[in-house]
Amino acid sequence: MEKIDTRKLKPEVQQELRNQAIRLRKSGMAYKEIGAIVGVHPTNVCKWWKAYEQGGQKAVRQKKRGRRKGHCRTLSQDQEHELQRAIKDRCPDQLKLPFALWTRIAVQQLIKQLYGFQMPIRTVGEYLKRWGFTPQKPLNKAYEKNPKAVKQWLAESYPAIAKRAKAENAEIQWGDETIPINADISLGFDITQSFIDYAYYPWVKDRWAAGFGLGLRWMDLQATLSYRGETDEDEVEGSSDVKGSAPLPYLYFEYRRLFSDKWRFTTGHGWLSISIDDVSGGQWIGKVGIEYLAGKRWAFGAAINVATIDVDWDAIKTEEVDVLNLALKMDINDFSVFVRVRF
């Protein structure tokens, strides 16, 4: 029988050849005869049999192929485990490293301190990713996880700081996000507006009418800043969201004119400057539209609107000092559809 190169066989086929050779040897056959039957060299049959005699069936099991776990890696498994424990259990400054938090460069210096060689920063990042460590923003996470503590700090501790700064003619610097140069940044806005108004028309003619009234603009605003970049120490990525709602009342004047039995042209202008409690500001509104008269008391239409809005809001305020002030200034051009009801 032609000899078989067992290295090219699947592991389960190799195992079956070994089992068959052991059975034939138990029946009293010679190594040469067994080799001829299973298609391997008698030396291999002899090696399998001696292993079986020493360790039983377990000794002739086919070993798993491929590289050992961790083979060709820079760090040994013991070194990897030691580093992971150090990162989880200690801060860099506890290991006499000049860092407050763990970054790629901090881990790189720890490897040099423990094992005496400089690992490339990209390789450090690959190890950290393999271990399940990803870039984080600890300060931002702490802020989000305990909003009550932040609000309490703003209400109780910050006013004293602000009072001292005012007395010493000093300036308070706030820091939130640090974004590296050349980072990819995207900024998105989502604005939803609703209007309701009531008008009285003292000037009414056959084809036109003019009047004035009160209106309310309700605005929901969400702004999202996202960024991704890389510094000398670490990869940086994250996002921040700002959400808010505001009711904005206004006075307005409107003129409308029929140009057929069912269609009419409308234009209006509104304005209001007001200060209520902690909110102050103003808005100017202009619109041009067209309406379809569907019945005696109601119509529907569409309009192009332009607006300028300027609002200041003392979001958190104490008796002595403004803790947090927000300002919104924007020009808006949009398209709207509406329903008009006559009472």
- pLDDT(58) > 70: yes
Helical packing angle, 77-89 and 104-115, nearest 10°: 130
- What average pLDDT score do residues 240-252 get? 75
Quick check: helix, strand or coil at residue 249? Answer: strand
Q: What is the pLDDT of residues 284-297, one digit of tens each?
A: 889 999 999 998 88
Q: What percent of the chain has pLDDT over 70?
A: 70
How many Cα atoms occupy the beta-carbon half-sphere of 53 within 13 Å? 8
Mean pLDDT within 274-285: 69
**Given a cut of 50, is residue 282 above it in pLDDT?**
yes
- Dist CA 326 CA 178 (whole Å): 21
Overall pTM surpassing 0.85 (yes/no): no
SS3 77: helix
Report residue 144's pLDDT band, with 50, 70 and 90 as the boundaries: very low
Q: What mean pLDDT comes out for the span 278-289?
A: 80
Most confident of 34-43, 107-116, 148-157, 238-247: 107-116
| Domain boundaries defined on the chain | 6-60, 77-131, 184-341
Average pLDDT of 195-208? 88
**pLDDT tens readout for residues 146-165:** 666 766 777 777 777 777 77
Would you state the pLDDT for residue 255?
95
Between CA 110 and CA 82 the distance in angstroms is 11
Which CATH architecture group holds 184-341? Beta Barrel (2.40)
Place of tokens 């996470």: 141
- DSSP characters over 106-164: HHHHHHHHHHS----HHHHHHHHHHHT-----HHHHHHHH-HHHHHHHHHHTHHHHHHH
Residue in this structure with the two tokens 């300060």, named with its chain if needed: 139
Select the more confidently predicted residue: 110 or 328.
110
Residue, of 335 and 221, whose pLDDT is higher:
335
Mean pLDDT rounded to a whole number for the chain:
77
Region of 39 please: left (phi>0), alpha (psi -120 to 50) or beta.
Answer: left
Where on the phi/psi map is residue 237: left (φ > 0), alpha (ψ -120 to 50), or beta? beta
pLDDT of 113: 92
pLDDT tens across 295-324, in order? Answer: 888 999 999 989 887 766 554 444 444 444
| Mean pLDDT (whole number) for 71-77 | 74
**Cα separation, 67 vs 71, whole angstroms:** 6
Residue 290, CB half-sphere, CA atoms under 13 Å: how many? 4
Average pLDDT estimate for 312-340: 65
